[in-house]
Amino acid sequence: MNSYKYLDSINFPSDLKKISEINLQKVSDELRKETINAVSETGGHLGASLGVVELTVAIHYVFNTPKDKLIWDVGHQSYPHKILTGRKDKIRTLRQGGGISGFTKRIESEYDPFGAAHSSTSISSAFGIAEANKLSNKKDNVIAVIGDGAISGGMAYEAMNNAGASKTKMIVILNDNDMSIARPAGAMGTYLAKIFSGKIYFSLRETIKMIISSFSKRFSAKAGKAEDLFRSAISGGTLFNSLGFYYIGPIDGHDLDSLVPILKNVRDSRYQGPILIHVKTKKGKGYSFAENAKDNFHGVSKFNITTGEQYKSKTKSPTYTKVFSNTLIEHAKNDSKIVAITAAMPDGTGLSDFGKKFPERTYDVGIAEQHAVTFAAGLATENYKPYAAIYSTFLQRAYDQVVHDVAIQSLPVRFAIDRAGLVGADGPTHAGAFDITYLSTLPNFVVMAASNESELVKMINTSVNINDKPCAFRFPRGSGIGVPLPSINEIIEIGKGQIIQEGKKLAILNFGARLNETIKASDNLKKKGINITIVDARFAKPLDENLIWQLATNHESILTIEEGSIGGFGSHVVDFLSKKNLLDSNLKFRSMTLPDVFIDHDTPENMYNQAGLDAKSIEDKVLDLINSNIVLRKQR
């Protein structure tokens, strides 16, 4: 860690409060530098954190955290917050195995009152905490910082609608870092924000209400409307006022001379009700490479501070995301009905390239997965072929729409599920652990998983012509294994797996990207004189029942493998075996799934080792099954 004049003496917000207010910008400059230095060594979400440095300093300087509750939405804005709240010495373990999380996390610190890794949750959780305070007669402040696009999520407006109708005091800070919600902040806007947030204004407002309360209610209502109209007209808060929030702003989120007094005014006001402070910030602020980058260094790998160059692993194999994007583009050239949908992740899902080729057929709906799914369903009713490209972890947010708007109506929406399985540094909140289970349980669904990039191409090819029901194909994060890619004409028969190798006694049914680890395990077993059958199942729904029947009648044991939770592929296989009376003393069945725990962030390799889904664990499971069969035969 570098040596700093001010930051070295700050371990908690109580230390920050000892600094003179005139030196807070110097503290911010050091905090920004330390954030850049730390993330250059660990990788992470840099741009959003750089944008809230001054805001973080101001909040912790003014409010009494952790007694006052501070909630970050989304949590990747919280790196400066972590440095100021007892985790400065651990910041270089960020997102590393055994280190601190890249998001806020309740068990990590009392300064993290609510865990946030998915967006648009802060206002709901803050309102819940504020209501709990009111019920308990506690006067503590509750502050939600919502930013980096999270305000585009519908849940934020649901929460504001609910909170705005209450008389519960809570503070929402809208970190507007590139959303064009209002005109740019200026000197007049800042001056008016100070006035509107000040004790004098609140007192005057309350005095006027007391005076006019003796007159008719009609006069009172008109006076209130006049004040709201005036304030909205000059400060841009019409929407938030309509939702029941007292609006302040927009103000410059990098100007501590404005931020600190406004936050103090809000803290000390007698206004009972929700307040929204609109703060304009610059994502990547203070680091030229982040400011000038297309994504403002939203998510970065380790990088060179001097040049801004990121250190990325070099591989000749394309990523699965790139393979998906390129394949969909090729199909779209020939099929004008293909459209693509993303929920604020055009780069992450690969649809940015698709959008360059077909801008009129590409839809970024914002952080609104529920809308994305039902929007896709609407397109499907008109014989278009919508591809909803959504990470597994984010598709969870739209499960009701997947069931009611897509599956029940058997609409041919195609779900391209990226980041399937364990994803590494983003940890359990971003792991694609549940989609096999939550999709395979639905009638009218085709559920596929690619074992490599070649299989992914075939599954995309196949999906183009599934026109009577929804389908999903899942694929992992990262690069492929280096196999040749087929043409866009090569398809798979629905519900048919493929035999990779034939052996005796034990058969492995693999579903998804653990196939390569399964083959590695088999190679080690061959050295021990053990030859097993390996099948790439391809489909969790519909199952290849004929192939499973064949395996069950020709082998002593069946082992299923999937990078998903219990209740998925293996559960459907054992259900089939049970219904066909194939699970008797002559057949042993075992399944390997992700364990029934949330696995903390680490490298994907270490996470899979911990999950017991690496080649060594597969080999051990096979040996255990074979040995148990030998013992069983001896007992007979």
* 3-class SS string, 141-157: CEEEEEECCHHHCHHHH
Q: How confident is the model over 468-504, as pLDDT tens digits? A: 999 999 999 999 999 999 999 999 999 999 999 999 9
Query: What's the pLDDT at 48?
Result: 87
Which residue shows structure tokens 């972890």? Answer: 393
Per-residue pLDDT at 595 exceeds 80: yes
Task: Please state, in angstroms and rounded to a whole number, the distance separating the CA atoms of residues 305 and 313.
Answer: 18
Grade residue 629 by pLDDT with cuts at 50, 70 and 90: low
* Token digits of residue 53: 């440095």
Asked if 295 and 283 touch (Cβ cutoff 8 Å), the reply is: no
Point out the least confidently predicted range of 23-27, 181-185, 199-203: 181-185
| Domain architecture of the chain: domains with CATH | 7-292 (3.40.50.970), 320-474 (3.40.50.970), 498-635 (3.40.50.920)
Task: Please state, in angstroms and rounded to a whole number, the distance separating the CA atoms of residues 78 and 211.
Answer: 45
Q: How confident is the model over 289-347, as pLDDT tens digits? A: 888 887 787 878 888 888 888 887 777 789 999 999 999 999 999 999 999 999 989 99
User: Which residues face 506 on adjacent strands?
Assistant: 557
CB atoms inside a 10 Å sphere around CB 40: 22
Asked if 395 and 402 touch (Cβ cutoff 8 Å), the reply is: yes
Query: What's the pLDDT at 233?
Result: 44
Per-residue pLDDT at 179 exceeds 50: no
Q: Which of 38, 11, 5 is nearest to 23 (CA)?
A: 5
The b-or-e profile of 469-492 (16+ CB within 10 A means b, else e) is bbbbbbbbbbbbbeeebeebeebb
Task: Please state, in angstroms and rounded to a whole number, the distance separating the CA atoms of residues 392 and 147.
Answer: 23
Distances (CA, A) of 128 to 68, 114, 133, 162, 168: 14, 11, 9, 11, 10
Task: Please state, in angstroms and rounded to a whole number, the distance separating the CA atoms of residues 511 and 564.
Answer: 9
3 state DSSP class of 100: coil
More confident residue, 14 or 203: 14
The helix (run of H) or strand (run of E) holding residue 341 is strand 338-342
Q: Rounded to the nearest 5 degrees, what angle is found at the Cα of 151, between the Cα atoms of 146 and 152?
A: 155
CB-count exposure of residue 207 (10 Å: 0-12, 13-18, 19+):
exposed
Grade residue 392 by pLDDT with cuts at 50, 70 and 90: very high
CA atoms in the 13 A half-sphere facing the CB of 351: 26
Task: Please state, in angstroms and rounded to a whole number, the distance separating the CA atoms of residues 443 and 470.
Answer: 10
The b-or-e profile of 575-603 (16+ CB within 10 A means b, else e) is ebbeeeebbeeebbbbbbbbeeeebebbe
* Token digits of residue 614: 């690496």
Point out the least confidently predicted range of 132-141, 194-203, 361-370, 445-454: 194-203
Task: Please state, in angstroms and rounded to a whole number, the distance separating the CA atoms of residues 121 and 123.
Answer: 6
Average pLDDT over residues 554-563: 96
Strands (E), 166-309: 170-176, 246-252, 274-280
The b-or-e profile of 437-456 (16+ CB within 10 A means b, else e) is bbbbbbebbbbbbbbbbbbb
Task: Please state, in angstroms and rounded to a whole number, the distance separating the CA atoms of residues 476 and 227.
Answer: 54
Q: How confident is the model over 93-152, as pLDDT tens digits? A: 999 999 988 888 899 999 999 998 888 999 999 999 999 999 999 999 999 999 877 888
3 state DSSP class of 343: coil
CB atoms inside a 10 Å sphere around CB 142: 26
Active centre residues (catalytic) = 283, 369, 397
* Token digits of residue 13: 């917000």
Q: Is the dihedral of CA 231, 236, 240, 245 positive or negative?
A: negative
Q: Which of 464, 458, 474 is nearest to 540 (CA)?
A: 474
Per-residue pLDDT at 369 exceeds 60: yes
Asked if 469 and 446 touch (Cβ cutoff 8 Å), the reply is: yes
Number of helices (H), then strands (E), in the chain: 25, 17
Task: Go through the chain and tell me how many residues it has.
Answer: 636
DSSP letter string, 546-597: HHHHHHHHH-SEEEEEESS-TTSHHHHHHHHHHHTT--STT-EEEEE---SS
Average pLDDT over residues 62-71: 97
CB-count exposure of residue 221 (10 Å: 0-12, 13-18, 19+):
exposed
* Token digits of residue 211: 């005076």
Task: Please state, in angstroms and rounded to a whole number, the distance separating the CA atoms of residues 51 and 48.
Answer: 5
> pLDDT averaged over the chain?
89
3 state DSSP class of 239: helix
Strands (E), 411-452: 414-418, 446-449
Q: How confident is the model over 209-224, as pLDDT tens digits? A: 544 444 444 444 544 5
More confident residue, 103 or 15: 15
Backbone angles phi, psi at 147, to 5 degrees: -165, -170
Backbone angles phi, psi at 407, to 5 degrees: -65, -50
Residue type for 437, please? T
pTM: 0.86
Q: Which of 497, 498, 505, 543 is nearest to 525 (CA)?
A: 505
